[in-house]
Every structure is written in structure tokens, then in C-alpha cells.
Amino acid sequence: MARMATETERPGSRTGGVSRSNGSSPSSWGLGDGAAIPWEYAPAPESRDVVTIKDRYGLFIGGKDVAASDGQTFMTINPATEEPLAQVARATAADMDKAVRAARTAFRKSWGSMPGRERAKYLFRIARILQERSREFAVLESMDSGKPIKESRDVDVPLAAAHFWYYAGWADKLEYAFPGRVAKPLGVAAQIIPWNFPLLMLAWKVAPALAAGNTVVLKPASTTPLSALLFADVCRQADLPPGVVNIVPGPGEVGMALVTNPGVDKVAFTGSTDIGKKIAKGVAGTNKALTLELGGKAANIVFDDAPLDQAVEGIVNGIYFNQGEVCCAGSRLLAQESIVEPLIEKLKDRLATIRVGDPLDKNTDVGAINSRQQLEKITELVEAGKAEGADFYQPACDLPDRGYFFRPTLFTNVAQSHRIAKEEIFGPVLSVLTFRTPDEAVEKANNTPYGLSAGIWTDKGSRILAMVRKMKAGVVWANTFNRFDPTSPFGGYKESGYGREGGMHGLHAYVRLEDR
């Protein structure tokens, strides 16, 4: 069992949990002009005992827990404490080949020809087990990734289970999903996922692949392998035939060995645009199907007729959810000029109430950044924003002494040419720009190489519909942000990638359609 910090050892915690003023003044409580009464949230830590973290994890290939072919391992750490969590086998190209062969055998021998109604039973079982073990998954995910427990508990894990429920329902109904056509599985799917939503991205990829009759080799990100390895245990518990799902943590280069393995029929990738381009080159000239879900720089547009208090909640959810490490984060706020001042004032008031700290504390709103490398990237871009002349604002709040934390950050007076308005920061950093007319809003929103998501806040339905038609974004949320549902397709335009995940579109990416 990995050694865990005890309550009293927890870095930077004076009371063992998040410790900060909520920014309210005593006079606002009707207490007169007396001395300020400092108060703190009582810590509400989720128990770490609900999950057993092993000292070592192997690769999950052909239903077995195996060491890497060269015996190498790597350490995964808790980004909130910088403490080691577990040693994980580090796959080699030879291990990837072994996993692809196991997946091919499972495809030929059982899964590829199994009736849909039988496949569905396994998917329903997995969905059920994920729900039964949800606390275990939520705690593990928060420890390995740094995300707040209330998000892993209320968003990541339930949505992951929902994807299995949803696609389980399709497994025996493919003829209705694609009327008049025969949907055949593609074969072996190579799936590479990132660190921002480790279990959820696994579910987005594994559930439709299995429902359509494919087998899978999945490479989790090196900073967050643990929930995928716990999922391997769920596969065992569900009696999934060996080799249908293979989980092979390893470095990026080995991910490329998976992509280029000749035994792979389909590649699905979520991550940075740079690596997405390399993967597209890696499959060019082959018959492999490819879907890419890459970066984003979403505009969240607030018109002067929007209910500002609700919009502020949507803006906060849009950029500070999951520390802003979200491909579809609303990282550019486009505010109509006439309301920008009251909007920023309300936003600053709201930022003062955001609690940053221990991801396992149920009060925490913003947890730890996933890795030192990502923290450095955020810091570098924030420094660039200051140097380029945007106005910088952070609420006063204590950060733990150890761990990778970053305060929620707001930049106003941002120009379109600033790096913070152009580049994906992937952190809790909001850049505010302004516009006067709807046309100007559309022009600024679309002025990005990305095209993943956008948000519109207005009282007028007709304006929403008019804007949506002109916005080059795969998903446009209206009077809400960052809402996900397994029935709804998700994906981008331009440098945000191609292909869709979720809904029937997500199934389509895993089938070959033939005439009857």
C-alpha cells in the first residue's frame, strides 16, 4: 500500500483542510464595524480508505496482469501532495504489439461475432459495477489527477457509468442506429486518452467501441494511469472475455508504436493538437479509421440582455471547472461593452468565494493542477499575459505549501493578439474581451484556429439560433456551459480535430457500414 499523508501532515493545511476567508466582510453580515471575524470552512475530507492503492500495477493484457517486457516501471504521484502513489509497469513497443495481438484474438474468437444482445449484457454489467464502486473510483481519480472530489464524484464517475448504460442499449440495436445498412465492427481499436478526465475519456472511447463489437487497446496518460487500471479490475469482475479490453500505460513514444501497429484498425485520440497532428501523419496512407479530439479556445459570449448572475455562474463553471484543464473550457469571455463593468465586478466577487485546495475536501472548488509541467505552462502563459499588457487579477487566497496549485485568474483588457487570447492555456485563467454588435462577437469568437465549443448568454431565443448558425464550433451551449450527456455528440472543427464522440455519431466512428 502506498504511504499516504496523514491528516496532520497534509501540506499547507493549517486545519487539515482548505483554510481561507470567504471574502465576506463582517459589516455585510450586519455585525457593525467591529473587528473582522475570520472564519474558515471546517474540513470535510473524503476518506482515502475507500480505495486500496497497490504498490505496483502491471499492464492488463489478455485479461492478465503482466510486467512490462523490459521490467521497467514509472511512478505516478498525487499532484496535490507530490507524494508517490504507485509504481506502474511502463509498456514497450513489444508490449503494445502483445496487447494488439490479444485484442485481435479476442475479436476473432469471441467479441467480434458475439450477438449484440450478449455484448450488451457485459456493458450493462460494467455500468452497474462502476456505479457500485463509484466512491472508490472518485477518490482514486481525485488523488491521481488533482481534480476536486465533488467533480469526480458528481461528474466524472456518474457520466462514465452513463456512457456504458447508454451504449449498452445500442449494442443489440445497431440496425436501428443505421437503418437499411449493416453495421460491422472495425476490429481492434487503439485508444489514447489524456489526463484531464481519465476515467470519463476511457468511457467515451471504450463503451461505443465495445457496443459495436470492437476490441480495445487503451493507453492512459502517464500522469493518470490508476483509474484505467482499476477499470481493468471492473472488466475482470464483469467476466469480460480476456483480451476484449487491454490497458497499457506507457510513454508517448510507445503510444505512437500503438498507433502505427499494423494490427490496429481504428485509432481514437484525445489530447493536444500537436500530438494529434503526429498521429494523423502516423496513420496516413493506411486503412485505419481515425478520430481526433484536440484542443480548444472557446468563446463564452455574454450579451447585455443576459441575466448576469446566472451568466457569472456559467462563466465560473466554464473556466474554473476541473482547474480549467478542459478542452472545451470557456477560456475567452466575450462581454458586450455596455455590461462589461458590472459583469467583471460580479465575477470578482464570485472569485473571492472560490475555494482552492485539497482535492479530497468536499468543499474544494479548484483542486491541484495535474503536473508540474502543466503548472509551468500555465505560469508561463500568465506571465506572457502580464508582459503583453493585459490587466491581471487573482483573488486573495491561501494555497497549500506543497502540490501544484494555481489561483483562479482573470485578465481584463485583453487584445485578440495577446497569447492568452490565442493559445490554449489549459488552466484556471480567463481572458476577457469585449464586443459591440452580434457580428463582432461572431467574428471574434471564430477568430481562432480551434473550433470545439462556445457559449451564448442572452434572453432571446432567436438570437441564440442566429448566432449558432454562424459560430464555427462543434458544441454551442446556450445559457449554460460544460453540460455533457452520453446521447449528445461532441467534437470539433479545424484544429480541434474531427469525428464525434457520444450519441449515435459516437457509434458511427466504430463501425463499417455495408449494404444489406
Task: Tell me whether residue 327 is one of the annotated catalytic residues.
Answer: yes
Q: Are the C-beta atoms of 320 and 435 separated by less than 8 Å?
A: no
Annotated active-site residue in 293, 325, 424, 495? 293
* Contact code string over 235-254 relative to ligand NDP, x by CB under 6 A: ----------------xxx-
> Which residue among 46, 151, 235, 327 is the active-site one?
327
- CA torsion angle 455 457 459 465 (round to 10): -20
**Shorter beta-carbon distance to ligand NDP: residue 19 or 246:** 246
Would you count residue 192 as binding ligand NDP (CB under 6 A)? yes
Burial of 504: CB neighbours in 10 Å, binned 0-12, 13-18, 19+: middle
- As measured in angstroms, the least distance from the Cβ of 183 to ligand NDP is 28
Please tell me the distance from the alpha carbon of residue 498 to that of residue 334, in angstroms, as a whole number.
26
Residue 88 CB, nearest distance to ligand NDP (Å)? Answer: 11
What track of x and - describes contact with ligand NDP for positions 424 through 463 (by CB under 6 A)?
Answer: x-x-------------------------------------
Q: How far is the CB of 112 from ligand NDP (least distance, A)?
A: 25
Altogether, the residues listed in the chain come to a count of: 516
Residue 127 or 221: the one with the smaller Cβ distance to ligand NDP is: 221
Contact call for residues 327 and 270 (beta carbons, < 8 A) = yes
**Looking at beta carbons only, is 236 or 278 nearer to ligand NDP?**
278
Q: x/- contact string, 364-403, with ligand NDP (CB under 6 A)?
A: ----------x--x--------------------------
Does position 324 interact with ligand NDP (CB under 6 A)? The reply is no
Parallel, antiparallel or unpaired: strands 332-336 and 299-302: parallel
Total residues contacting ligand NDP (rule CB under 6 A)?
27
Q: Which of 472, 476, 456, 441 is nearest to 305 (CA)?
A: 456
Binders of ligand NDP among residues 211 to 230 (CB under 6 A) are: 219, 221-222
DSSP 427-463: SSEEEEEEESSHHHHHHHHH-SS--SEEEEE-S-HHH
Task: Choose between 259 and 335: whose C-beta lies nearer to ligand NDP.
Answer: 259
Phi, psi of 502 (to 5 degrees): 95, 150
- Candidate ranges 15-23, 169-177, 188-196, 302-310; the one touching ligand NDP (CB under 6 A): 188-196
Q: Strand order in 409-412's β-sheet?
A: 391-393, 409-412, 429-435, 332-336, 299-302, 453-457, 475-478
Please list, in sequence order, all residues whose beta carbon lies within 8 angstroms of the beta carbon of residue 104, skipping any fewer than 6 positions away: 187, 188, 215, 263
198 binds ligand NDP, rule: CB under 6 A: no
Q: Which residues are paired to 356 by β-bridges? A: 366
CA distances from 61 to 231, 236, 238, 371, 480 (A): 13, 12, 16, 27, 41
**∠ CA 472-369-490, rounded to 5°:** 25
| Binding residue (CB under 6 A) for ligand NDP from 17, 255, 395, 400 | 255
Closest residue by beta carbon to ligand NDP: 252
User: Which ranges of 260-357 would DSSP assign to H, the alpha helix?
Assistant: 273-283, 308-320, 340-351
Task: Compute the half-sphere exposure of residue 332: CA atoms within 13 Å on the CB side of its CA.
Answer: 33
Binding letters toward ligand NDP, positions 293-322, x by CB under 6 A: -xx---------------------------
CB-nearer residue toward ligand NDP: 227 or 374 = 374
CB of 275 to ligand NDP, least distance (A): 4
Residues 259-298, one symbol each (x = binds ligand NDP by CB under 6 A, - = not), give x----------xxx--x--xx--------------xx---
Which residues lie near ligand NDP (CB under 6 A)?
A: 192-196, 219, 221-222, 251-253, 255-256, 259, 270-272, 275, 278-279, 294-295, 327, 374, 377, 424, 426
Catalytic residues: 293, 327
